Copies of this chain bind each other. A is one copy, B any other.
């Protein structure tokens, strides 16, 4: 089953203890799709500006990502400038330029309206709604967000939560939106807001998945080489949703495998800047590391 992702395709300027990269390909939809494409056809819904490098569009195309709903609009592309210090766990945002995102109105093709698997990456919840409204009969909708929307668009966000099956958040966001420090309690409260399933990303500490029927906890894959963690969460989500869309099931075993594949995809993402590592991956690379991962965890 194919998959559609709404999010950003951006240029990032990233500084980590391992170097500085200027105007590299980034954005939630780019990271998500570079991972999801290993499992299933993936469609990007996003806008870039007139300044957006053609080579980045070509890279996505060459990797099989479907760009029918990627529009080039008047104005500047969305861009993010950030930095990581010592422990590489927390990004310090130096600059965010919204550019074309300010007026972004997602439009998809007639064919795309029939897609069943939807991922609404972190973006204004009003834009998330506009995309979801166009999907005729979604089977599985997952949604991410960030503290900025929790703080400024809470009402729109809460409305969206009632329409999605899976809410994806990092631990900070889960705590902030639920008002609960304990992550299991936080997940319970978030589930009461609508989504059947809650997926809490904890960065280097792995993930916690919560639903009425089952709870899963997975550590991250232990990585020695951590160069740039930007996009790890979206890469995780791409592997997770990609696997679910490929299998077409949402039972316990599929969810577990999806979490494991997401974890492995993210472990590759952080090994180099931007999409440098994930753009060169095959599903075989993921499966080989997954085998290793299964020996490492219980």
Contact partner of A298 (CB less than 8 A), chosen from B87, B222, B260, is B260
Within 8 A of B (CB), among A201-247: 202, 204-206, 208, 214-224, 226
A90 located at the interface, meaning its Cβ lies under 8 Å from any Cβ of chain B in the complex: no
Q: How many of these chains are in the complex? A: 2
Given contacts A87-B181, A294-B298, is CB(A219)–CB(B217) below 8 Å?
yes
CB-CB < 8 A to A221: which residues of B? 217
Q: Report the separation of the CA atoms of residues A183 and B223 in the bound assembly, to the nearest whole angstrom.
A: 9
**B205/A205 in contact, CB under 8 A:** yes
Q: Within the complex, which residue of B87, B181, B202, B296 is in contact with A217, where a contact is CB–CB below 8 Å?
A: B296
Does any Cβ of B come within 8 Å of A185's Cβ?
Answer: yes
- In the complex, the answer to whether A185 meets B220 with C-beta atoms within 8 Å is no
Nearest neighbor of A188 in chain B, beta-carbon distance: B224
Residue of B nearest to A252 (CB): B295
Contacts of A216 in B (CB 8 A): 296-298
A204 to chain B, nearest CB (A): 8
In the complex, what distance in Å separates the CA atom of A297 from the CA atom of B178? 24
Complex alpha-carbon distance, A276 and B204, angstroms: 32
Contact in complex: B219, A206 (CB < 8 Å): yes
Known contacts being A206-B205, A226-B182, is A218 close to B215, with CB within 8 Å?
no
Q: Which residues on B sit within 8 Å (CB–CB) of A219? A: 205-206, 208, 217-219
Report the minimal beta-carbon distance from A179 to chain B, rounded to whole angstroms: 11
Set B87, B183, B226: member contacting A222, Cβ < 8 A:
B183
Closest 5 CB pairs of A and B: A205-B205, A217-B219, A184-B224, A297-B298, A87-B181
The docked-state distance in angstroms from the alpha carbon of A293 to that of B185 is 18
> Does A256 reach chain B (CB closer than 8 Å)?
yes
What is the CB-to-nearest-CB distance from A68 to chain B, in angstroms, rounded to a whole number?
Answer: 37
Question: Are A181 and B220 touching (Cβ within 8 A)?
Answer: no
Question: Closest approach, in angstroms, between the C-beta of A161 and any C-beta of chain B?
Answer: 21
| Distance (whole angstroms) from the CB of A249 to the closest CB of chain B | 18
Q: Which residue in B87, B183, B296, B298 is a CB contact (below 8 Å) of A215?
A: B296
Known contacts being A202-B205, A206-B205, is A217 close to B297, with CB within 8 Å?
Answer: yes
**Which residues of chain B are within 8 angstroms of A208 by Cβ–Cβ distance?**
219, 222
What's the Cα separation between A293 and B217 when bound, in Å?
9
Please, could you name 22 A-B residue pairs with CB atoms under 8 Å apart, sorted by A? A86-B181, A88-B181, A88-B182, A182-B224, A182-B226, A183-B204, A184-B222, A184-B223, A184-B224, A205-B205, A206-B206, A208-B219, A214-B296, A215-B222, A215-B296, A216-B296, A217-B297, A218-B219, A218-B297, A256-B298, A293-B298, A297-B298
Q: A182-B224, A216-B297 are in contact. List 14 more A-B contacts (CB 8 A).
A: A87-B181, A182-B223, A182-B226, A183-B222, A202-B205, A205-B206, A206-B217, A208-B219, A216-B296, A217-B297, A218-B298, A219-B219, A297-B297, A297-B298
